[in-house]
Structure 1
Amino acid sequence: MNYRRLGSTELNISEIGFGAWGLGGDKGGSRAYGPTDDSESLYALRRALDLGITFFDTADFYGFGHSETLIGRAFGACRERVIIAGKAGFVDAAGRQDFSPAHIRASLDGTLRRLNTDYLDVYQLHSPPAELLIRTPGILETMKELVREGRIRSYGVSLRSPEDGITLLRAHKVGCLQVNFNLVDQRARADGLFELCRQTDTGIIARTPLCFGFLTGQYPDTSALPESDHRRRWSKEQVERWHKAPRLFAGALETQRPQTPAQSALRFCISYPAVTSVIPGMLTPAQVEENAAASGLGPLPAETISEVQAIYEANDFMGRK
């Protein structure tokens, strides 16, 4: 496993991280990827650390605390070996948000209790409008206060869009940004966020690297998914756009065999120096082993990256045209 420094922070984290949204399951009416098995989730978390994955990304919204509870159970006895990133902002399944200082602090109290720890390595605001952070300076000031109090080591923002990241960085300095980035969603690169993060020494956590399963080569019929799987609610048009992606990229990635489609997708993400860590969602030990191995395979060749970028530019995967 290779490791990278997270922006201007002092944290060195594994370039393959663990996205723990799915571990929350359907607790409390949460919608992720359907029901989960806690014993298997704990095995997956511990297997990840065995393989050198040290970065674990969660949120109080994931299973309404259940994801955090599992991470606390898995690593309570070895807290110093892992880097945990949490989030605050969502308050219910309807998507209502609260970024008041009181809510941020109360959320952190609950997160630390569930994680069985007295500090958080990275605390992220969960999908706030960038303009809200700019016109309400008390929000980021609260995050700075938590650093000074020793309750968090650093803070960042989990973005709604790359555009929000650009808007935010032009007004404020943060340690890291979390953003969607994968073969079919390259907006963070194409729109200039990567370059701005390089200039400002801001770490990037790349989420959805497997595009919700579309890039694994094993994506199921959405109508057959559990009711609590959020993918059931996607539009037919979006599903069709992403369903064709593996076939379109197959030619460019064929020379990289015998790697799996998932490993190709992860290698694409870590090919960019701007990306500190990529956080695929993982539910089983087998998925952990497959994804962790991508680090040892290294970045994709420059010519492959160029071909992949050209395919992205020639197709409207995001419905922007």
Structure 2
Amino acid sequence: MQYRDFGKTGWKVSEIGFGGARIGGLLAQDGGRKGSLTTLAAALDAGINFYDTADMYSQGESEVLIGKAFRKSRGKVFIASKGGYCTPAGKKLIQFVKPLAKPIVHALGLRRMRAPSSTAGPIPQDFSPGYLRKAAEASLRRLQTDYIDLYQMHSPSPETLRSAQFQDTLGVLAQLKTEGKIRHYGIALDAVDDARPCLGLEGISSLQIPFGILDMEALDGVFEEVSKRQLGIIARGCFAGGALKGSLTEAELRASEPKWERVLNLRRLVEKLGRSPTEAALQFSLRERRIGVNIIGMRTLDQLATNLQHYSSPPLSDEEFQRLLMHRSVVEA
């Protein structure tokens, strides 16, 4: 594993980080808690030292698992969590019944299903100083730690970022840093364009930005502007939310991925290069040296092993990189 500087923090973070959104959950398969803990331990053994989670992932269970996994090796890892989403009362109840319900769920063979977007509905957010302080302190308890290395505001809207009240939000994060409860704070963004309103904000140490072989917009000046301000860059979305998985059929892509034509064109291109889509995608992201850490969502030992195999594959040659860049231009034209 190779390590990179993370902005002005002085940290050396692994080039790939562990995305914790997929661990935990009532309908999680593949060994449940025990399997997740085994995977987390194996990731650390492989040299991954950056772990990204949030209070809303699996109603807080992702934080619980990460906290338990590294309770005895806390100084070896950087834990990045997020706050700002408000967990509905019904989901809070799930936190308490989950330990009792899981054995029943597994015995019945129930599996996780994605709720239709029309029924899922938006999750409310609260970036007020009082709410964020409570959220951060609740995350500390779930993580079983005295400090969070990086606390991120979770997907604030452009309107929130530009509001006068947001300065109060930054103020409470600065207070939490002074109190030693967080070491640094940053912002996890949903869109590349949201990075620019953040560049003049005082006190932040990092930005988490969508980037990948299907989402190259950050190359159009954003990475340069962010790195000039010595902010750590966390890249998210290397595998386009699973759209690059080779197991997906064309019909499945058409039904679930707006960029399905680009995925199919990309598959044909990387096949000529002798690579899989996910291998090419990870090596494409790794080539961008301004990125501090590339977050990859994983849950099982098999997924970890596959990601490490892709990481160990030969870097893209200049010719391969240019062909992938040209693929973007041809499709957008």
Question: TM-score normalized by structure 2?
Answer: 0.82
For 1:1-321, list aligned pairs within 5 A: 1-25=1-25, 27=26, 35-36=28-29, 37-92=32-87, 94-134=122-162, 135-136=164-165, 137-172=167-202, 174-190=204-220, 192-219=221-248, 239-254=256-271, 257=274, 260-297=276-313, 299-316=315-332
With over 3 angstroms needed to count, the CA separation of the structure-2 counterparts of 1:252 and 1:260, relative to structure 1, is: closer
Q: Is the 8 A contact 1:217 1:246 kept in 2?
A: no
Instruction: Tell me which residue corresponds to 1:231.
Output: none
Quote the offset at 1:299 in angstroms. 3.8
Q: Is the 8 A contact 1:16 1:291 kept in 2?
A: no
Please identify runs of 4+ aligned residues in structure 1 that moved more than 6 A: 220-223
Query: Secondary structure at 1:18's aligned position in 2?
Result: strand
With over 3 angstroms needed to count, the CA separation of the structure-2 counterparts of 1:240 and 1:208, relative to structure 1, is: closer
Greater C-alpha Rg: 2
With over 3 angstroms needed to count, the CA separation of the structure-2 counterparts of 1:122 and 1:248, relative to structure 1, is: same
With over 3 angstroms needed to count, the CA separation of the structure-2 counterparts of 1:6 and 1:237, relative to structure 1, is: same
Distance 2:131 2:250 in 1: 39
* Root mean square deviation of aligned Cα: 2.3
Distance 2:271 2:276 in 1: 10
Quote the offset at 1:41 in angstroms. 1.3
With over 3 angstroms needed to count, the CA separation of the structure-2 counterparts of 1:115 and 1:220, relative to structure 1, is: farther
**Unmatched tracts of structure 2, length 5 or more:** 89-121
For this pair of structures, how many residues does the alignment match?
296
Quote the offset at 1:178 in angstroms. 0.6
Quote the offset at 1:251 in angstroms. 4.9
- Tell me which amino acid in the other structure corresponds to 1:106: K
Work out the percentage of aligned pairs sharing the same amino acid. Answer: 35
Quote the offset at 1:311 in angstroms. 1.1
Q: Is the 8 A contact 2:174 2:203 kept in 1?
A: no
Query: Secondary structure at 1:154's aligned position in 2?
Result: strand
Quote the offset at 1:16 in angstroms. 0.6
Quote the offset at 1:211 in angstroms. 0.9
Quote the offset at 1:11 in angstroms. 1.7
Distance 1:206 1:296 in 2: 19
Quote the offset at 1:154 in angstroms. 0.8
Quote the offset at 1:47 in angstroms. 0.9
Quote the offset at 1:279 in angstroms. 0.9
Q: Is the 8 A contact 1:88 1:125 kept in 2?
A: yes
With over 3 angstroms needed to count, the CA separation of the structure-2 counterparts of 1:96 and 1:2, relative to structure 1, is: same
Query: Secondary structure at 2:151's aligned position in 1?
Result: strand
Q: Is the 8 A contact 1:181 1:209 kept in 2?
A: yes
Q: Deviations over 1:56-78 (max 9, x none)?
A: 00000101101001111111111
Distance 1:237 1:216 in 2: 14
Quote the offset at 1:254 in angstroms. 4.1
Quote the offset at 1:302 in angstroms. 2.4
Distance 1:76 1:255 in 2: 46
Distance 2:66 2:314 in 1: 28
With over 3 angstroms needed to count, the CA separation of the structure-2 counterparts of 1:285 and 1:105, relative to structure 1, is: same
Distance 2:125 2:263 in 1: 35
Query: Secondary structure at 2:227's aligned position in 1?
Result: helix
Distance 2:172 2:290 in 1: 27
Q: Is the 8 A contact 2:266 2:277 kept in 1?
A: no
Q: Is the 8 A contact 2:22 2:297 kept in 1?
A: yes
Q: Deviations over 1:76-97 (max 9, x none)?
A: 1111111100000000354100
Q: Deviations over 1:288-308 (max 9, x none)?
A: 122123443364222222221
Compare 207-216 and 239-248 and name the one that shifted more: 239-248
Q: Is the 8 A contact 1:58 1:67 kept in 2?
A: yes
With over 3 angstroms needed to count, the CA separation of the structure-2 counterparts of 1:181 and 1:150, relative to structure 1, is: same
